[in-house]
Amino acid sequence: MREIVTVQVGSFANFIGSHFWNFQDEMLGLAADPYGDPVFKIQSLNMDVIYRTGETHQGTTSYTPRLLSIDFQGSLGSVSSKGTLYSEGSNEPSEVVTWAGHVSTHASEPQNKNLFLQSLYQEEQDVALTNGNNGEAKDSQHEIQDTDIVRCLDEGVQFWTDFSKVHYHPQSLYEVNGLWMDVKQFDNYGIGRDVFMENLRGEEISDKLRFFVEECDHIQGFQFIVDDSGGFSPLAADFLESVSDEYTNTPVLLYAVRGPSSHMSLSSRKQTVVRDLHDAVSFSRLSSFCKMIVPVGLPSLSRSKTSTFLNIKDENPYHCSAVYAAALHSTSLPFRMEPLGPTADLSDVFGAVDVNGFVQMLAGQSRQNMVAILDVAMPSPCLSGKQDKQSLLRNLQPLTPEVAEDVDDLQAVESMIVHGAIGSVQEVIAYQFLKLRMQSMVHMNVQPQGQCSAIYQRLVALSQFLCHSLQSLVILSASMVSCWEAQS
């Protein structure tokens, strides 16, 4: 087993993470469905890489993400920081009294579950009731309509837990005590600079991460998703420095994410200067403690190619985070594939690689702190070979900000992931897509130089394509291209 521990830091990072884990939960449900499509039962996709098996206090087996989530106090909404699977204990005061003075209790009112979470709870109750009646389902009147749930999610999401289907381990959720949810004030590097070290927060966060790392047989790396647009950036940088000291040989792949609201024009020159300084310091610090950093977050998704088939509202983080989560889901697939043996069947998937091998392939063995560009075509264009290469490549939309579109880096190394292709034709699709990229480079007389040449040849040999059918109507293609070295 080569496990990955995922760390989500900041509000928008947790919005992306919530969608990401919903995707995984959906895949697990489809794989367990005895009447579901057999394509979802592919054994070569090992979910244990990012999930852990445990046991609740009641002796029930649990399967929860190997995840550490860090956010504002109060950001969990109606979900307890102890999760939903484990006993939360009583909120009543202890009967053991050691203080004879006056006691004053101040408690905030718990958040109510929205319609979506209520529907999930109702489904769980129905399943439990069915199992209790030896499989005989009882007719129940569902007052919550699907249209109401869709409207609730589309218009009423306030917290990232409002649309989360996943059960979390108590060690997964960490609210920064004393740091209440006020994004407008917690908006630059200087404000969050000392948050990690204050009040033993650093020790508490490190202990939670250590819980997941120590139960791994052979950890292959960390996957960090960091909202670097505000005060969580320095917290993440200090945490990453601690991680790099404690787990020296464990690679970190970092996604620096931002919502469209972070790109809004500022009203004064002073605010603009502060934001520019924040961007420079944040990027320098974060890139210093990871093998590869991938900036993700466009000023507007609604005006990008991704909106061709999607109705995206930039002001709604529930919308924007879903697109980024879909891309991150696909880029993480190589790390979860089982290595193929000599008798393996290629009809399902191929292209397995671990985090360290993936980074080395893109960045080179002697280099680190590389920056990568993330491109996506969602849904993927037709890969039958009937269209010319330029029209195919024009479908790719960079999700990395400030990247010139329709321009190829002449010394770039790419990893391309075709997601959702039918197994019987995946070799043809992989060949066609790789052929188009090769033809494009040859047409421009591109000759990869230096270390890049060897890596490129290795890439061609591996043909880094992962063809795993999820939904027949959705095909996702993601491309990561390393283009320049981060300067600290």
Q: Give the lowest-confidence range in 8-22, 146-160, 244-258, 361-375.
A: 361-375
| pLDDT above 90 for 127 | no
The span from the CA of 292 to the CA of 357, in Å, is 12
- On whether the CB atoms of residues 222 and 252 are closer than 8 A, the answer is yes
Average pLDDT over residues 132-159: 72
Sign of CA dihedral 184, 190, 191, 193: positive
Strands 61-65 and 51-55: antiparallel
Tell me which of 25 and 82 has the higher pLDDT.
25
Token pair listed for 331? 């880029």
Q: Which span out of 30-39, 149-158, 251-260 was modeled with the highest average pLDDT?
A: 251-260
Outline where 288-354 has alpha helix (H): 317-331, 333-336
Whole-Å CA distances, 113 to 92, 122, 156, 161, 175: 22, 12, 11, 10, 19
| pLDDT above 90 for 106 | no
| pLDDT above 80 for 125 | no
Spans of all domains in the chain: 4-83+144-331, 343-349+374-485
CATH code of the domain occupying 4-83+144-331? 3.40.50.1440
Query: Considering only CA atoms, which of 153, 181, 221 is closest in space to residue 71?
Result: 181
Average pLDDT over residues 388-403: 76
In this prediction, residue 479 carries a pLDDT of 40
SS3 291: coil
In this prediction, residue 183 carries a pLDDT of 60
Tell me which of 453 and 73 has the higher pLDDT.
73
Tell me which of 314 and 339 has the higher pLDDT.
314
384 pLDDT band, cuts 50/70/90, is low
Tell me which of 442 and 351 has the higher pLDDT.
351
Helix 115-132 × helix 146-156 angle, to 10° = 140
In this prediction, residue 206 carries a pLDDT of 96
Task: Report residue 484 CA to chain centroid gap.
Answer: 23
In this prediction, residue 163 carries a pLDDT of 93
Q: Under 8 Å CB-to-CB from 209, ≥6 apart: which residues?
A: 5, 7, 68, 243
In this prediction, residue 45 carries a pLDDT of 84
Give the chain's length.
488
| pLDDT above 60 for 480 | no
| pLDDT above 70 for 304 | yes
| pLDDT above 60 for 428 | no
In this prediction, residue 225 carries a pLDDT of 98
- On whether the CB atoms of residues 226 and 233 are closer than 8 A, the answer is yes
Looking from the CA of 410 toward its CB, the CA atoms found within 13 Å total 7
Buried b (16+ CB within 10 A) or exposed e, 125-163: eeeeeeeeeeeeeeeeeeeeeeeebeebbeeebebbbbb
Does pTM surpass 0.85?
no
Q: Under 8 Å CB-to-CB from 469, ≥6 apart: which residues?
A: 37, 39, 40, 420, 421, 422, 423
| pLDDT above 50 for 70 | yes
| pLDDT above 50 for 124 | yes
| pLDDT above 60 for 487 | no
Token pair listed for 467? 């063809």
- List, for residues 186-244, the tens digit of each pLDDT value: 777 878 888 888 878 899 999 999 999 999 999 999 999 999 888 899 999 999 999 99
Average pLDDT for the chain: 76
Average pLDDT over residues 393-420: 74
458 pLDDT band, cuts 50/70/90, is very low
Burial of 315 (0-12, 13-18, 19+ CB in 10 A): exposed
What percentage of the chain reaches a pLDDT higher than 90?
29
Q: Give the lowest-confidence range in 10-24, 173-187, 363-377, 442-456.
A: 442-456
In this prediction, residue 368 carries a pLDDT of 63
Strands 476-485 and 413-419: antiparallel
Tell me which of 182 and 355 has the higher pLDDT.
355
In this prediction, residue 453 carries a pLDDT of 41
In this prediction, residue 63 carries a pLDDT of 94
